[in-house]
Amino acid sequence: KGTAITDAVADAIAEQTVTVPGTRAAESLIPQLASDIRRLRDRRTDISRQVEELLADAPLLTVLTSMPGIAARTASQILLAIGGDISRFKDAAHLAAYAGIAPVTRQSGTSIHGERPARGGNKRLKNALFQTAFVAIRLDPESRAYYDRKRAEGKRHNAAVMCLARRRCNVIYSMLRNGTLYQPGGTHTTTTTTPPRTETTPAHAPRPRQDTTHPRIKRT
């Protein structure tokens, strides 16, 4: 696309009948810039291919691609976006906030006006999660049913897909943390049980202080 634009500009310059200052310089500069753009684009494609080949042997890539809607390329983008280390995030909500897909409550004073999409976040991760959710609508009946429910609630297409992406983020986080493959209909959650807190009295607890004062005797 970038090359087509530069070629069109070069053709327009060649067809000019009026001499414009700098035209000669532009005629030699634009083809050079177009060549540089092509080289950079090819280099970027080559680097992306090499990274994908390196990640192809990563166990977490197999974990991610077991989920409907996630192919090897998108899985690579997710792993690169999180630095390959899910332990950086304390929970799924932290990961969603980092990606910028956690909804933000609109509030004015004490009044709450619903939610709005979050701004900012890691754009690469946000785009990858959105795209995988969009693909999952066609491939996964559970994702389709969830999307349809959100649409029935009155949400627009993009908002419904974003809700699905947020829901899938919980599953992705659990899969990466536990190293488990996708389980249709599964919870994919890790629960930690905390023993009930009990209150105990110390063995040498001080006894309540007794009143040792003698009652006054009323004289008659």
- Reported as a single tens digit per residue, the pLDDT across 71-110 is 988 998 999 899 889 999 999 999 999 999 987 665 555 5
Based on the fold, state whether residues 1 and 85 are members of the same structural domain. no
Q: Do residues 181 and 66 lie in contact, with contact meaning Cβ atoms separated by under 8 Å?
A: yes
CA 81 to chain centre: 9
Q: Report residue 51 as tokens.
A: 């990274």
Based on the fold, state whether residues 79 and 127 are members of the same structural domain. yes
| 33 in any annotated domain | yes
Based on the fold, state whether residues 41 and 76 are members of the same structural domain. no
Task: Please give the C-alpha separations between residue 143 and each of 91, 94, 98, in angstroms, as whole numbers.
Answer: 22, 22, 23
Based on the fold, state whether residues 49 and 13 are members of the same structural domain. yes
Based on the fold, state whether residues 73 and 118 are members of the same structural domain. yes
| 145 in any annotated domain | yes
| 201 in any annotated domain | no
For the stretch 102-148, pLDDT in tens is 876 655 555 444 555 666 789 999 999 999 999 999 999 999 999 99
Based on the fold, state whether residues 14 and 102 are members of the same structural domain. no
Place of tokens 């785009």: 127
Based on the fold, state whether residues 83 and 176 are members of the same structural domain. yes
For the stretch 3-27, pLDDT in tens is 566 566 556 656 655 555 555 666 6
In this prediction, residue 204 carries a pLDDT of 44
| 115 in any annotated domain | yes
* Overall domain count for the chain: 2
Based on the fold, state whether residues 156 and 70 are members of the same structural domain. yes
Half-sphere exposure of 100 (CA within 13 A, CB side): 13
- Cα–Cα distance, 190 to 70 (Å, whole number): 22
| 117 in any annotated domain | yes
- Cα–Cα distance, 82 to 130 (Å, whole number): 15
Domain that holds residue 34: 1-55
Question: Is the pLDDT confidence value at 192 over 50?
Answer: no
Based on the fold, state whether residues 21 and 75 are members of the same structural domain. no
In this prediction, residue 43 carries a pLDDT of 87
Q: What is the dihedral of CA 85, 86, 89, 92, to 10 degrees?
A: 160
Based on the fold, state whether residues 78 and 136 are members of the same structural domain. yes
- Cα–Cα distance, 184 to 187 (Å, whole number): 9
Based on the fold, state whether residues 39 and 90 are members of the same structural domain. no
Residue after which a domain boundary falls, among 20, 37, 55: 55
